[in-house]
Structure 1
Amino acid sequence: MTVFEHKGKLLIVDCGVLFPEETQPGINVILPDFSSLRDRLQDIEAIVLTHGHEDHIGGVPYLLRERKDIPIIGSQLTLAFVTAKLEEHRITPRLIEVKEGQRRKAGPFDLEFLAVNHSIPDGLAVAIRTEAGLVLVTGDFKMDQFPLDNRLTDLPGFARLGEEGVDLFLTDSTNAEVPGFTVTEEDIRPAIDAVFRTAPRRIIVSSFASHVHRIQQVIDAAARHNRKVAFVGRSMVRNMGIAEKLGFLQVPKGLLVDVKAFDRMKDDKVVLICTGSQGEPMAALARMANREHTIKIGEGDTVLLASSLIPGNENSIYRVINGLTRWGANVVHKGNAKVHVSGHASAGELVYCYNIVKPKNVIPYHGEWRHLKSNADLAIRTGVPEDQVLVVEDGVVVDLVDGVAKVTGRVAAELVFVHGMTVGGGGSEEALADRVQLSNDGAVTILGILDTRTGLLTEPVEFIARGFVQDNEWIQGATKSIDDALRAANKVKIVNGAELEDIFTQSLTRWMQRKYRRIPVITSVVVDA
């Protein structure tokens, strides 16, 4: 989420979500921090969405909970995807559909939209004109010269804006470390065809639910090889239905069937398209790997992971691959076949854009620190002054004054966790640390009954342990550590219940760390006799 301010009014470009890593157990998605906007919700003129991927639209329903009538500006497919999400939240949005080449005012912001190609159709870059200067935001893009939908990135438009004078350029950094140019989507067609040509039984294809271009390639291959196709997974069924209805997905008549019909069809005549390419535990593919899905993977099935491996998801993905292989599937993925190309511009494309846009200032965005830094280095090499290339993190405030961009402050930009039906609340960093500690080291509850007159226990402490073996040796050692600590404390004074709870926790923590090199989550309860 990027927020622009001019004359006291705000414009938001994209509002997406992050997905949890293994160190964030129990979290569904991670939202941007809206706290700096809450006192200024009425100043928001619009939300501009560059394209329909979750990391750009997934946070919109949560922002609209704060103010439901914020106008949403975007292309036809993007607005259709976000509308479907908002229906689940029972929100009816104010939509403004735009196309490439159009200009539109949003308060003091004069917006111009330019076509870009990406791994999802109908993507847009946005030029923002104000009295303070001209800003160009690429969104996610690449310069595919043979796109499946014949919709080229509008490089003449970028060059025209360059001639006008771009004061600030925000560029996609995801592939800034990758030399050369990103290969065209068409280049993976032979690999997909090879999978279809050689698969002896069923083909299961896993992809992002919004990756319309990749799904189109699979559908085309299925038609060429006389196989029927079924979609599995709520988001996949929903998004592909929208894309087909709007004409962004071309499906030959009679090709699609209901997955329930698969039992009556020959195995070598079907293709299943589902979610789960990132190893998500609740997605269809992971449940197939765990034998928890109605579709049972068997010997001779072929599974095609037709998407990238997102950093941080490696363990989850390989766990799914191992599970599928165990049941006899041949798993084809980016590591052993050319079945994926990126949707992001590589270094050569970024350099080309810098040379035609000729920006005065640059903020690399959309990427990790190493991507941002690589993108910044590219901008500097093309002639942008080093002090006018700003590598900034979430929450940093940049002012553009008289053609010069400078860091001037910071706003709150914490991670906001969605866990179940709860947004924020208990999903703090501290709560996550407890969850990780529980998963790694287990938990112990200590129960003691205290004689308040003597400061002594009326009977031996009891332990309730979870997450590790609680044998006699452990109980004897834990009891001794607590008894020793209590005797030492009572030599100073007679302890009370609260003090005894601290003694329980501290003595067991020290003993567990010394003896077992682990520190469980310890809860101490003392009852007065």
Structure 2
Amino acid sequence: MPSGKLQVIPLGGLGEFGMNCMAVRYGDDIVVIDAGMMFPEAELLGVDIVVPDISYLVENRDKVRAILLTHGHEDHIGALPWILSELNVPIYGTEFTLAYVEGKLEEHGLLDDADLIEIRPGARFKVGIFTIHAMQVTHSLVDCVALAVHTPLGVIIHTGDFKVDPTPTDNRLFDLHAFAEYGKENVLALFQDSTNVERRGYTPSERAVRARFAEIFHRAPRRLFLSCFSSSIHRINLAIEAAYNNGRKVALVGRSMNESVEIAQDLGYIDMPEGAFITPGQIRDYAPEKVCVLISGTQGEPMSALSRAAVDNHKHAKIEPNDTVVLSSRIIPGNEKSIYRVIDHLFRRNAHVIYDDGSTPPVHVSGHASQEELRLIINLVRPRYFIPVHGEYRQLKLHAELAQAMRGAVGQVLMMESGDVLEFDELGARKAGKVKVGRVCIDSGSMGEVVEDLVIRDRRHLSEDGFVLPIIAINKLTGQVESVPEIVMRGFAPGSEGDAFVEKSRETIMKTLEASSPEEIADYGVIKEKVRQDLKRYIAKSTQRRPLIMPVILEI
């Protein structure tokens, strides 16, 4: 074997859901697999999305050759606008994936300068020292690939997100043959999706939903509203087919739903019968039992079309008694409250609500491999090293245990988290330190607005204890305090003795001012800090609360 070293460095996605991003480095060449985002936890107040910290890539910008995309879900492409604003490198992806990327980059004004290179499943291409082989896999999205990266030390395979679907709706089969061929060649390492490792057996085929859709579409007495991820082209296709077979016209409501269907139609993934579509404005022109509405907002996003329709606040999508609403998606961890709030509103409108309730046949199937499919791929590839990726720590650990139990199919199992450097050379593999990783919080979907930890801390502080604004009027010429300080409070409750508390706070401020020299009073920075400290001490002592205190000096 050559004496060089191969390094694999996950920059996100290991130990967390989302932010999937992995750097592969040999010598002076780096390729990046995926560039995902994640949605913020509840404690990240006012943050819209979270993207990985790419300090390592920026420090090695002259070595980064390309970003390789496995598929078009947000947790794999959502960070591209922020990464491309720092590193303008070529992006390789399949036709459908790049169609999503184009829309995202156009929104951020980056499309004109972007170098997007289309790859086809089965294709091989060179990037720097690496040769990449894109292998067709099945998932809840169309046009997805796993990547076999040929390096001077051997082949590493990154599965991307996948399930082994024997009957995909687009008839593009999982390329098991390609995985089996690599199994004959002594694969160096397999990096495999851990999302569904807790589920036994096999993940049902996408076509398993068809029977339930046929039953629902046939029985629904009035309008039928169906909400799924706008990227679930297989699911949308099945819904359109079921609507057509039951004599229902299809209306698309929601920006993301319209954009996804338009892209899928242009690329031939959805074949709409002539006259099957109507505009949202035409919904009321047809008898209720002749309409199906495909509506976005399946995760209860506050301003989504479904959330607005659920509270009767949508121009076209009106949900009335006896209408049927189908939520054909899983509940993403952390979204439970907002989704069940929408479901409650739908029940208040006396709608029939059908969601993923464990019934058979199902209204939703996962896009990720369960235990038997994970074992199947491991048995086919038979890697020297196995590394679980994509998932929280418990899932990575369970996946590692599953692989360890497969003696003979796997050489050695290694556990990694984001930031770990996995190094291969002719002597084997080992962890070789860490690089700086973390998360970058983006506010208001604006490219420049990165939210610092300090801002998040202040927001949390305000949300818990409120703020107190002491306003002090000082004569600029004499340096004298002109009147009794005003106290403004927001989000802070002083308790039953409100008036007495305000009076005592004023006295505390006046004592501070009286104890200060004319020089201190003339220096507004100093006097503000003295007032803040003394008032903070008094409030903490009398209420055991710590509001944000921001003294304001008015010059008279």
Give the TM-score, by structure 1 length: 0.91
Structure-2 residue corresponding to 1:505 = 532
1:393-404 to 2 correspondence within 5 Å? 393-402=417-426, 404=428
Structure 1 residue 514: Cα displacement: 6.0
Structure 1 residues 276, 211: closer, same or farther in 2, change over 3 A?
A: same
Q: Distance in 1 between matches of 2:68 and 2:255?
A: 26
Match of residue 522 from structure 1: 549
For 1:205 and 1:82, the matched residues in 2 are separated by 26
Mapped partners of 1:299, 1:522: distance in 2: 51
Q: In the alignment, is the contact (CA less than 8 A) between 1:360 and 1:403 conserved in 2?
A: no
User: Which residue does the alignment assign to 2:96?
Assistant: 77
1:252 matches 2:279: no
C-alpha displacement at 1:193, in angstroms? 2.6
Contact 2:384/2:411 (<8 A) preserved: no
Q: Report how far residue 508 of structure 1 moved.
A: 4.6
User: Do the aligned partners of 2:52 and 2:79 also contact (CA within 8 Å) in 1?
Assistant: yes
Name which of 48, 64, 67 aligns with 2:68.
48
State whether structure 2 residue 65 is matched by structure 1 residue 30: no
Secondary structure at the counterpart of residue 104 of structure 1: strand
* Correspondence 1:190 to 2:211: yes
Could you tell me whether the CA contact under 8 Å between 2:194 and 2:395 is conserved in 1? Answer: yes
1:22-51: CA deviation from partner (whole Å, max 9, x where unpaired): 222322222222222224334322211111
Aligned pairs for 1:53-72 within 5 A? 53-68=73-88, 70-72=89-91
**Given the alignment of the two structures, is residue 179 of structure 1 paired with residue 200 of structure 2, yes or no?**
yes
Over residues 253-303 of structure 1, what are the superposed CA-to-partner deviations in whole Å (9 max), with x where a residue is unaligned?
211111111121111111111221111112111122233321232222222
| Aligned AA (2:341) | R
Q: Which residue of 2 aligns with 1:435?
A: 459
Residue by residue, what CA displacement relative to the aligned partner does 1:446-483 show, whole Å, maximum 9, x if unpaired? Answer: 22346999999654331222235678832421441563
1:202 matched residue in structure 2: 223
RMSD: 2.9
Distance 1:196 1:515, change over 3 A: farther
Alignment of 1:61-140 (within 5 A): 61-68=81-88, 70-90=89-109, 91-92=111-112, 93-140=114-161
Contact 1:205 1:303 in 2 (8 A): yes
2:141 and 2:233 in contact (8 A); partners too: yes
Equivalent residue runs for 1:19-418 within 5 Å:
19-68=39-88, 70-90=89-109, 91-92=111-112, 93-294=114-315, 295-335=317-357, 337=359, 338-383=362-407, 388-402=412-426, 404-418=428-442
Aligned equivalent of 2:14: none
Contact in 2 for aligned 1:417/1:424 (Cα 8 Å): no
**Would the aligned equivalents of 1:229 and 1:273 in 2 still touch at CA under 8 Å?**
yes
Amino acid at match of 2:98: L
Name which of structure 1's ranges 271-280 and 25-34 shifts more when overlaid on structure 2: 25-34
Residue 138 of structure 1: CA displacement? Answer: 0.1
Give SS of 1:185's match: coil
- Tell me the CA shift for residue 394 of structure 1: 2.0
| Structure 1 pair 434–375 and aligned structure 2 pair: CA distance change class (3 A) | same
Displacement of 1:498 after TM fit? 4.5
Amino acid at match of 1:77: F
**Paired residue type of 2:436:** A
Q: Which residue of 2 aligns with 1:464?
A: 488
How many angstroms apart in 1 are the aligned matches of 2:299 and 2:497?
43
Instruction: Report how many aligned residue pairs link the two structures.
Output: 528
Q: Share of identical aligned residues, percent?
A: 38
Question: How far apart, in 2, do the equivalents of 1:72 and 1:431 lie?
Answer: 33
Deviation at 1:422, TM superposition (A): 4.0
- Quick check: 2:383–2:411 contact (8 Å CA) kept in 1? no
Greater length-normalized contact order (CA 8 Å, ≥ 6 residues apart): 2
Q: Evaluate the alpha carbon distance shift between residue 86 and residue 158 of structure 1 in structure 2; reply closer, same or farther with a 3 A threshold.
A: same
Residue 405 and residue 232 in structure 1: after superposition, are their counterparts in 2 closer, same or farther (change >3 A)? farther
Change (3 A) 1:101 1:492: closer
Distance 1:508 1:311, change over 3 A: farther
1:244 and 1:482 map into 2 onto residues whose CA distance is 68
In 1, the alpha carbon distance for the partners of 2:515 and 2:454 equals 36
> AA paired with 2:127?
A
1:339 is aligned with what amino acid? Answer: V
Find the partner of 1:16 among 36, 41, 60. 36
Check conservation: 1:116, 1:142, Cα contact below 8 A: yes
Task: Give, as a single letter, the amino acid of the residue that structure 2 aligns with 1:119.
Answer: S
Going from structure 1 to structure 2, the CA distance change for 1:136 and 1:477 (only over 3 Å counts) comes to same
What's the TM-score once normalised by structure 2's chain length?
0.87
Cα distance, 1:87–1:502 mapped onto 2, change above 3 Å: closer
Unaligned runs of 5+ in 2: 1-20
Segments of 5+ residues of structure 1 without an aligned counterpart are none
Kept after mapping to 1: 8 A contact 2:441/2:452: yes
Conserved? CA contact 2:324–2:353, under 8 Å: yes
Name whichever of 470-479 and 70-79 sits farther off. 470-479
- Cα distance in 1 between the residues matched to 2:462 and 2:348: 30
* 1:66 counterpart SS class: coil
